[in-house]
Amino acid sequence: MADLLIVGGTVVTAERSMVADVAIGDGRIVEVGEHLADGNGRTPTLDAGGLLVLPGCVDVHTHTRLPSETEPDRFFQDSVAAAHGGTTTFLAFNNPGTGISDEGSRSLLAGMREFRARTDGESAVDFGLSAVISGQQDDPIAELPELIASGVPTAKAFMVYDFRLTDDRLFEALRTMGRHGGMLEVHCENATVIDALVTDAVARGNVSCRHHALTRPTYAEAEATHRAIALARAADASVYIVHLSCADALAEVAAAKARGWPAYAETCPHYLTLTDERYDAADEAEVIRSVISPPLRSESDRGALWLGLRAGGLDLVATDHVPDRLAVEKRCPAPPFPQISNGAPGIETLLSIVYSEGVAGGRISLERLVDLLATTPAKLFGMGTKGAIEVGRDADLVLFDPQASRTISQSNLHHTGDFTPYEGRAVRGAVRSVLLRGEVIVRDGVFSGRRGAGNFLERMATA
């Protein structure tokens, strides 16, 4: 017996699209097929005529902020933004910039417990944690097995920044993850090269925002990507390359895949739509919005990433959402570039951007969009109830109008950053309604969910 029927929409999976009804019972999908209405009209229905019915997006890379005494709504509000954008599950990191305490950042397990306590009852959509392994923690590698067993089977390590892991520690982390079924996510940039370029730039007085990009060349990313993959191979472990931004790094991942190695990679909406032209703007307050790592790349890199999404060198798209505010975290007017918080908001615009540029733009199919934004992220990150419209899965659904047109603007978004990299951008398609485990949490563009309705997901080790 169904509690709700979605009728007359075009249901899209990673394999096919078909006009079908979706029956929901106890928060799960119980049937997908034609003419499921019972005839007596007793089961409530939601009309999806003319709309696409997509699985809710699964965004595996966000830096949502923990709630604090002075900003108690930040985690909740970004989860509302996710809902508006058609994302029903997100993974957050608990790195220091997100508001984790000093104690929580010294140990993986303490950090996990603090994250769970402080986000309990906060989120409007389902969510999970991906831990951050830092060179400043006491003994994070020893804590990995218990972390994985506690439902956090992924963690991010950095090859740059002062909290990076040295190669020997990175190798140990990969080996431990591999032995216990976890998956290490790696931020790949060559620290030796970048630190030298930054030191030189600062010594010459080249401290404006555009020098952030000039000191992080594509070869530094490609070399580190190669090294992370080589270390993973030696450690007999899978590896996941975060925020891959350029053709040369993509070639490294594609070469590993061609050899049958378990190397995976994500790219982000900004690398698929924006280029390093943004660093040419005369106004520093404009350029500072694009201070992200890796930086925006060339038009030819952008083209290569779309080809990678089509051909499979890239596995998924995630946002790397950082809800920075210009005058607060970004410290506008611009300080010297090494002191600027890296990142830009994006939790709410994932589906909009990838649908408009990718599907409406003729670069990828609708089925590939579903694969990239829902099915593969759920599978790779151990969320077996998420990511597909299939009997038994959670009824996390997006009713999406492919004919609509809208303009993205900070004034019509809900996230806690105070700008969007896509200001003024016209996009095709619009999210109409969103369901989380069968409950309508966005109805005709209006949030109808509630704080705390989202569950923390204890994920499965998958590697």
DSSP 316-366: EE---B----TTTTS-SSP--GGGSPP-B--TTTHHHHIIIIIIITTSS-H
Contacts of Mn ion in 365-404 (CB under 5 A): none
Look at residues 255, 272, 271 and name the one whose alpha carbon lies nearest to residue 263: 255
Q: Which of the stretches 300-308, 317-325, 370-378, 415-423 binds Mn ion when contact is defined by CB under 5 A?
A: 317-325
Residue 187 in contact with Mn ion, rule: CB under 5 A:
yes
Exactly one of 78, 320, 324, 348 binds Mn ion (CB under 5 A); that residue is 320
Nearer to Mn ion, 195 or 284 (CB): 195
Q: Omega of the bond prior to 294 within 30 degrees of 0, cis?
A: yes
Nearer to Mn ion, 270 or 379 (CB): 270
Q: How far is the CB of 57 from Mn ion (least distance, A)?
A: 17
Q: How far is the CB of 81 from Mn ion (least distance, A)?
A: 17
Q: How far is the CB of 169 from Mn ion (least distance, A)?
A: 17
Q: Which of the stretches 172-180, 183-191, 233-241, 445-453 binds Mn ion when contact is defined by CB under 5 A?
A: 183-191
Q: How far is the CB of 317 from Mn ion (least distance, A)?
A: 14
Q: Omega of the bond prior to 333 within 30 degrees of 0, cis?
A: yes
Backbone angles phi, psi at 151, to 5 degrees: 95, 15
Environment class of 49 (CB within 10 Å of its CB; exposed 0-12, middle 13-18, buried 19+): exposed
Contacts of Mn ion in 3-32 (CB under 5 A): none
DSSP 115-143: HHHHHTTT-SSEEEEEEEE-TTSSSHHHH
Contacts of Mn ion in 137-176 (CB under 5 A): none
Nearer to Mn ion, 28 or 187 (CB): 187
Q: Which of the stretches 184-192, 212-220, 278-286, 329-337 binds Mn ion when contact is defined by CB under 5 A?
A: 184-192
Nearer to Mn ion, 344 or 442 (CB): 344
Look at residues 43, 2, 44, 6 and name the one whose alpha carbon lies nearest to residue 389: 6
Q: Which of the stretches 6-14, 137-145, 315-323, 420-428 binds Mn ion when contact is defined by CB under 5 A?
A: 315-323
For residues 157 and 240, the answer to whether their CB atoms sit within 8 Å is no
Residue 189 in contact with Mn ion, rule: CB under 5 A:
no
Q: How far is the CB of 123 from Mn ion (least distance, A)?
A: 19
Q: How far is the CB of 343 from Mn ion (least distance, A)?
A: 7
DSSP 367-387: HHHHIIIIIHHHHHTT-TTSS
Q: How far is the CB of 369 from Mn ion (least distance, A)?
A: 22
Return d(Cα 397, Cα 442) in angstroms, integer: 10
Which residue ranges make up the site for Mn ion (CB under 5 A)?
Answer: 187, 320
